[in-house]
Structure 1
Amino acid sequence: MSAQDWATILVAIGAGAIFKELVVVIGKALTGRLGQRRNEVDRAFRERDREASRRRKLEESLSHHRRLMNEAPCIPIESIPPWPTYTQGDTP
């Protein structure tokens, strides 16, 4: 088989598309773009986790203070506002 026959076979089975993607990935790796993207994703996850931790602390504090107000004889239960409701975007 000649080189032209091999090239025809490789193109027919889609090796051209695979080779193109391989070249793109190697190019990104050599320029550091893959590492930059990984850092962006890691930073976004850290920010999400930090925000979730703050939200949990606020919810725990609210729960604690509501229990204290319920047990306090000087605060009527009717004067304690209801729990805040979750909207569709901020469900736990």
Structure 2
Amino acid sequence: MASNQFCIATGEHYQNRLDEVGLIQSMSRKGNCLDNAPMESFFSLAKREFIWRKEFVSIDQFKESFSRYVSQFNNVRISRKNKGLTPVEIRNQALAA
């Protein structure tokens, strides 16, 4: 991230606007570049598997389709590296431990 982007993202006006609309900023902690690695990995997959393979006629169509993709990704799509479990099943196992 360029230094001017960091200043904008940490500026008081930007932070206040996030609070106004009820959003929580996602930024890695200082010195820990791996904080966002799972989401970066997900969005990389989403671009390859979903976004680049389709054409959308409206933002509403995109939102609806992407919502279905995320639901399928979390609840149906299994992963070999996770021993054939879905992300929801992995999270539920972690919470039960």
TM-score (norm 2): 0.23
TM-score normalized by structure 1?
0.24
Structure with greater proportional helix content: 1
